Amino acid sequence: MYTASDLRKGLKVQIDGAPYIVIDFEFSKPGKGQSLYRCKMRNMITGNQLVQTYRSNDKFDEAGLEESTMQYLYNQGDEFHFMNTETYDQIMLTAEQIGDNIHFLLDNMEVEMLFFNDQAIDISLPIFVDLAVTQADPWVKGDTSGTDTKPVTLETGYELQVPPFVEEGDRLQIDTRTGAYVTRVKE
């Protein structure tokens, strides 16, 4: 059980039977008045945002979330199949539930899966993943167009801007939080 004074950015609580994460938080207290805890929260299942002001005595249940390490197996159209690495249970998530992570997901990759009341609601990938470049325009030496990046396509189909020296077949480290190029990986 949490009280309003525990609220802070990143805290996960349960409201009306749904898990919420606090994404913005401000403490206020008008002169001689009560402590007020003003929160912006995101429903971790629907993504809907909620803005609420709480008082010191307000209480919250913990979000009751659990995490398990899962291995990504394969997809069939919109259905993405994972296996629990300890129990070998298999679980399916839809493309919508996987969201932008879809761009960085490779067969056999280990991910952390988030469960609310035994229901899988989200996955988180390693912060950095290495992916191969499947398509890149050659680097034209002496190119004076002044651009210092070029578009390439990765093995997952994801397209991004990278430095001009990147070539087809290179492996790149990508930051899965931002989707940005980090560095070229030496084999």
Partner 1 sequence: MINLQRLHTRAAFFRVLRSFFYQHDFLEADTPVRQPVLIPETNIQPPASEDWLLQASPELCMKRLLALGAERIFQICPCFRRGERGRLHSEEFLMLEWYRREADYHQLMRDCEELIRTVSRGLPETDCFAGIDLSGRWPQLTVAEAFGRFSPVPLEQALEDDSFDEVLVEYIEPQLGLQQPCFLCDYPAEMASLARRSPADLQVAERFELYIRGVEVANGFSELADAQEQRQRFTQEIEHIKAQWGRRAAMPEQFLAALPAMGEAAGIALGVDRLLMLALNKTALEDVQTFSAEDL
The count of C-alpha atoms lying within 13 angstroms of the C-alpha of 5, restricted to the half-sphere facing its C-beta, is 5
**Residue 156, SS3?**
coil
Q: Whose Cβ is closer to partner 1: residue 53's or residue 161's?
A: 53
Closest CA to 41 of 66, 28, 18, 24: 24
The bridge status of strand 36-43 relative to strand 18-28 is antiparallel
Chosen residue from 14, 35, 97, 153 binding partner 1 by CB under 8 A: 35
* Least distance from partner 1 to the Cβ atom of residue 27, Å: 3
> Which amino acid belongs to residue 147?
T
Chosen residue from 10, 17, 31, 142 binding partner 1 by CB under 8 A: 31
Binding mask 1-30 for partner 1 (x = CB under 8 A): ----x--------------------xxxxx
Residue 132 near partner 1 by CB under 8 A: no
Chosen residue from 10, 17, 33, 77 binding partner 1 by CB under 8 A: 33
Task: Tell me the C-alpha distance between 26 and 14, whole Å.
Answer: 19
Give the DSSP letter of residue 52: E
Which stretches within the chain are classed as H helix? 95-98
Q: Whose Cβ is closer to partner 1: residue 27's or residue 139's?
A: 27
Residues from 38 through 77 that contact partner 1 (CB under 8 A):
38, 53, 56-57
The sheet with strand 90-94 has its strands ordered as: 90-94, 79-84, 65-76, 110-116, 119-124
* Least distance from partner 1 to the Cβ atom of residue 9, Å: 12
* Least distance from partner 1 to the Cβ atom of residue 23, Å: 16
Task: Tell me the C-alpha distance between 22 and 38, whole Å.
Answer: 10
Where residue 178 falls (left for φ over 0; alpha for ψ -120 to 50; beta otherwise) is alpha
Q: Whose Cβ is closer to partner 1: residue 31's or residue 146's?
A: 31
Residue 34 near partner 1 by CB under 8 A: yes
Tell me, by CB under 8 A, how many residues bind partner 1.
16
The footprint of partner 1 (CB under 8 A) covers 5, 26-36, 38, 53, 56-57
